[in-house]
Structure 1
Amino acid sequence: MKETDLYEAIKKYFEDQGFKVRSEVRDIDVVAQKKDLLVGIEMKKGLTMELLTQASLRQKTCDLVYMAVPKPKRIVKNKSMNNLLYLLKRMELGLLYVDVEKNTVLEVLEPSFYDLDRGRRAKMKEKLRILKEMKKRSVDGNKGGSRGKKLLTAYREDSLRAVALIRVKGIISPKELKELGINHTLLSKNYYDWFLKVDHGKYSLNGAHPDHETYGELIEHFVNEYRKLEEL
């Protein structure tokens, strides 16, 4: 399939809506005009960075801009696609799927004004979660871009701090964690199966857990912190 194969369906789609359509107008693949409304359409055989760049450049001169690509055999709605549509919304770009065989066009996304402030308000709770997570992390125990690996979250860091405190004291209580600003409920919840309840409100370690070795250096760092506190 060639990019030019997409043209006839796109031309028909906009002409059916009362637009005058012309191709290759001053480097724009397709231009559709209705009165003073100017619509630019950039065509490619797939969604690429080049297409995204070209479409964004057309926004300098066109009122609305679409990206047009061949309609996939199977339209999926997954996280990756939702993220792409969000990006296009942010960029105020439209997306067309062109079925060359049927000579039809499916408008996946209409180009429209994106209210960034409204979008941020809708995600305020998530922003607060990020701020809370940042505040709770005292060390940078991950590498950016990591996939499929155990991540050092604020909750895991608190759990490792509890492990370190037990190594210093032998047995600890939720109250002691709370006094140190650590999530004290993690002992009873025991999400990682690291802790063992030995008495009412008293916890020790549940044997030698493999994760303790994975984070051995960090645990030792916290152990030294607590030993210094005891010396004060």
Structure 2
Amino acid sequence: METELYLPIKSFLETAGYAVKGEIGGCDLVGLNDGEPPVVVICELKLTFNLELILQAVDRAAASDEVWIAARVSAKGKGRESDRRFRDLCRRLGFGMLAVSDSGTVDIVVSPVSPMPRKNARRRSRLVDEHRRRKGDPALGGSTRKPIMTAYRQQALACAAAIENGVQKPKDMRAAAPKAPQILRDNVYGWFERVDRGIYALTEVGAEALKRWPAPQP
């Protein structure tokens, strides 16, 4: 599975000085450095190097400073990582290529250069904001079959945990969930019910959510 590539690539980029988190804004992996504004690195994962991986990288380029594509090394060494045309295409587009062995070793096949597309400042800003607001790294990059643990979902879980512990007013939840009033009012997931003015309770769906996803630690 693609998620098996996530930890080796994460370790590779962390060694290069980036804070890395998975499944940010639809990207398999996003890394930020300590600069202000930060350098944004995106990496897309596939089991093999293919055209779809290139197309994903093209889509991500406008929101990042550096784009990598990563895939597992082919068993017989005859995958796209050995195809000069594929490597040249990555060079022309400014994308880096990373090959991951069965043992988890990461090798640079092509180094990235400055990407050609114009930057999408709004999309880039959303990536940075979600990366910074998300607590920890709860989502493996490459996940496709379960809901992504976004910063919003983390705050909703914090609200649910607070209600379970007897806190009913949004203003009293703000330390753990700054957007508590909006989250409780919008009730996107159906976890909350308003029982009185400014007073909320947990629904059965909300209680089940806490069993499935423990509330994030501060």
With CA pairs under 8 Å and 6+ residues apart, which has the higher RCO, 1 or 2?
Answer: 2
User: Taking structure 2 as the reference length, what is the TM-score of the superposition?
Assistant: 0.47
User: Taking structure 1 as the reference length, what is the TM-score of the superposition?
Assistant: 0.45
Greater Rg by CA: 1
